[in-house]
Amino acid sequence: MSFWLVIRLLKYVGMLMFAMGIAGTLLPNDQRVRQRAALWIATPGFVLTWFAGYGMTRELGLSLGEPWISISMVASMAALHETLRASEPGRTPSRLHAALILGLLLISLTSMVVRHV
- Taking each helix axis as running N to C, give the angle between helix 2-26 and helix 95-113, from 0 to 180 degrees, rounded to the nearest 10: 170
**Contact at 8 Å (CB) between 25 and 86?**
yes
Q: What are the angstrom distances between the C-alpha of 93 and each of 48, 74, 76, 99?
A: 25, 21, 18, 10
pLDDT-above-90 percentage for the chain: 81
Q: pLDDT tens digit string along 38-60?
A: 999 999 999 999 999 999 999 99
* d(C-alpha 97, C-alpha 93), whole Å: 6
Q: How far is CA 3 from the centre of its chain?
A: 22
Q: pLDDT tens digit string along 45-102?
A: 999 999 999 999 999 999 999 999 999 999 999 999 999 999 998 888 899 999 999 9
Give the single-character DSSP code of 107.
H
Torsion of the alpha carbons at 86, 91, 92 and 94, rounded to the nearest 10: -70
pTM above 0.95, yes or no: no
pLDDT of residue 116: 61
